[in-house]
Structure 1
């Protein structure tokens, strides 16, 4: 079962929290859900490699708070006012929108940061084995239980698609108390799509 289900979805409500936190009446649920999907897609289309996007809604204060996790806060060059105005225009909403940034200092404990690192280096035509070996050597110093990285597709432009995976330590996917950070990303290349998955086993809770 641990191999056939999303590791985050499997743990939602137990040790993992939802990425959108709000409450609404049944007739409003569909429109609010569509708004959340649009906000996420709009921010991801900026291609600034945001690690996580959390949306909090306060109906009483008529406010939407968007918390964005980034790896390097200093490198961001954003006009937040135009971003907020564009979201408001597209969604035609009157709610007050606030955007807050949180910097993650240790990217080697974040699965999304590692997938971005792999994607940027693959785009520079660096060998996938060299990339993953560098990541595994750097992750030795971190206090984590284990890591697994998989790449699927026409790797290095090969004629046949294949599946390669690398593992270090434990990845107990069936254990609900295991704090596992998972991310899946796609890399669009001239010879096809590569699927990159990263599992990080941080620690056992309880």
Structure 2
């Protein structure tokens, strides 16, 4: 039986020398780890459900153990939807998270300036189009071309599930440029989104190689 591992976890501890490892959560606890982890999962789940159409690329959570405060950074391609008119939406979200965690919560909205180079946003865009009954090959090719034209060194897109009404599961993959999935020297970003279509569940996986010249600092992981 094949042994599987998540592409992000595979690369967490093996960044290039001098590079900072970006974790999705930043806190420490030697006694309440399970409770704090469950709190993180609830916060992410609430934000993803509330801001489903806001193009959320990443959510990072930082906690100060002594003060009991939580800082949530939301990386989005559509900050206007998250903030709302006069900041009404982000204020409502902050209040909801404070009721959820029973702690003081600070919400920071970060804009992703180049969503076509963010693997998670590309995967979500493809999944959204597939749910709208778009042709999967054309959708995948359009996203691949857009990423390469925007400066990616390589891109691979894979859709798996019941494609084209065929009962047996299969995967369709297209790629361009250099995407060394098993090489840790390059900066490979991974994104995944599940599309619920008329044909059933379809998983969309995206790998984007930014190489050593990654200059889209606002993209997050």
Tell whether the structures are fold-level matches, with TM greater than 0.5. yes
Question: What RMSD in Å do the two structures reach over aligned CA positions?
Answer: 1.9
66, 74, 88: which one pairs with 1:68? Answer: 74
Aligned counterparts of 2:90 and 2:165: Cα–Cα separation in 1: 39
Which residue of 45, 48, 56 maps to 1:50?
56
Structure 1 residue 118 and structure 2 residue 126: aligned? yes
Distance (whole Å) between structure 2 residues aligned to residue 106 and residue 62 of structure 1: 34
The aligned counterpart of 1:40 is: 44
Q: Which residue of 2 aligns with 1:138?
A: 146
* Distance in 2 of aligned mates of 1:136 and 1:176: 22
Moved more, 11-20 or 105-114: 11-20
Once the two structures are superposed, residues 126-180 of structure 1 have per-residue CA deviations (whole angstroms, 9 ceiling, x without a partner) of: 1111112212222232222211000011113333321110011111122222211
**Counterpart check, 1:90 vs 2:90:** no
**Aligned CA distance change for structure 1 residues 136 and 191 (closer, same or farther; 3 Å):** closer
Q: Which residue of 1 aligns with 2:27?
A: 22
Q: Could you tell me how far 1:124 is from its partner in structure 2?
A: 2.0
| TM-score, normalised with respect to structure 1 | 0.88
Q: Which structure 2 residues correspond to residues 174-185 of structure 1 after superposition, within 5 A?
A: 174-185=182-193
How many equivalent pairs are there? Answer: 200
Distance 1:6 1:196, change over 3 A: same
Contact residue 159 and residue 173 of structure 2 kept, 8 A? yes
| Contact 2:148 2:154 (8 Å CA) reproduced | no
Report what 2:90 is aligned to.
Answer: 80
Following the alignment from structure 2 to structure 1, what is the Cα–Cα distance between the partners of residues 115 and 99?
34
Residues in 2 aligned to 1:81 and 1:110: alpha-carbon distance in whole angstroms = 27
Structure 1 unaligned blocks of 5 or more: none
Distance 2:201 2:163 in 1: 9
Residues 124 and 192 in structure 2, CA contact (< 8 A), matched pair in contact too: no
Residues 84 and 72 of structure 1, relative CA distance in 2, 3 Å threshold: closer
State the 1:6 CA deviation. 2.0
Query: Which stretches in structure 2 are left out of the alignment for 5+ residues?
Result: 16-20, 214-221
Deviation at 1:4, TM superposition (A): 4.0
User: 1:108–1:192: structure 2 CA closer, same or farther, 3 Å change rule?
Assistant: same
Paired position in structure 2 for 1:9: 9
CA 1:201–1:186: 2 relative to 1, 3 Å: same
- When the two structures are superposed, what TM-score results if normalisation uses the length of structure 2? 0.83
